[in-house]
């Protein structure tokens, strides 16, 4: 069974049957209050057909979730409480890791959740990799 094809079919079905995505029940030429016909609303091309929409939004959302959200979280903690309480409460930022995992569980959001997790992992890998490399360079240049 090809799960990638099932995910794609589920996404296409969701895009065509989502609330207000495509108004098939109401005729396209039904007059509104002004007496002019109102055209049927559809998703624009970028959301409907572009193959990288979920990948780009998921990846960059993962980047924000891994890099920006912990900084905002610690900023709010330090603004509200003193430093000791903020340092003790900071590990609760790991709750945000449950977001991509919960998105992967449901078929409707599985693709987006996968890209979100991928964006988080790549961001963390790059940050820790570059930090380790810079630390190694600093140690070697000091001798």
Query: pLDDT tens-digit profile of 11-25?
Result: 666 555 554 444 444
Structure tokens given for 130: 């570059």
Q: What is the pLDDT of residue 34?
A: 65
Would you say residue 99 has pLDDT above 70?
A: yes
**Residue 111: count of CB within 10 angstroms of its CB:** 19
Can you state the angle between helices 110-141 and 3-17, rounded to 10 degrees?
120
Taking the C-alpha atoms of residue 42 and residue 32, their distance in angstroms, rounded to an integer, is 18
């Amino acid at each position: 069974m090809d799960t990638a094809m099932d995910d794609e079919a589920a996404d296409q079905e969701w895009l065509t049957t989502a609330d207000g995505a495509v108004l098939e029940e109401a005729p396209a030429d039904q007059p509104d209050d002004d007496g002019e016909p109102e055209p049927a609303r559809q998703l624009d091309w970028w959301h409907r057909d572009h193959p990288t929409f979920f990948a780009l939004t998921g990846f960059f959302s993962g980047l924000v979730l891994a890099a920006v959200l912990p900084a905002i979280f610690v900023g709010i903690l330090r603004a509200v409480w003193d430093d000791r309480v903020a340092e003790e409460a900071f590990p609760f930022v790991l709750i945000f890791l449950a977001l991509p995992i919960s998105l992967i569980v449901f078929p409707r959001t599985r693709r987006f959740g996968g890209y979100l997790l991928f964006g988080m992992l790549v961001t963390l890998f790059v940050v820790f990799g570059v930090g380790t490399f810079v630390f190694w360079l600093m140690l070697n240049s000091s001798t």
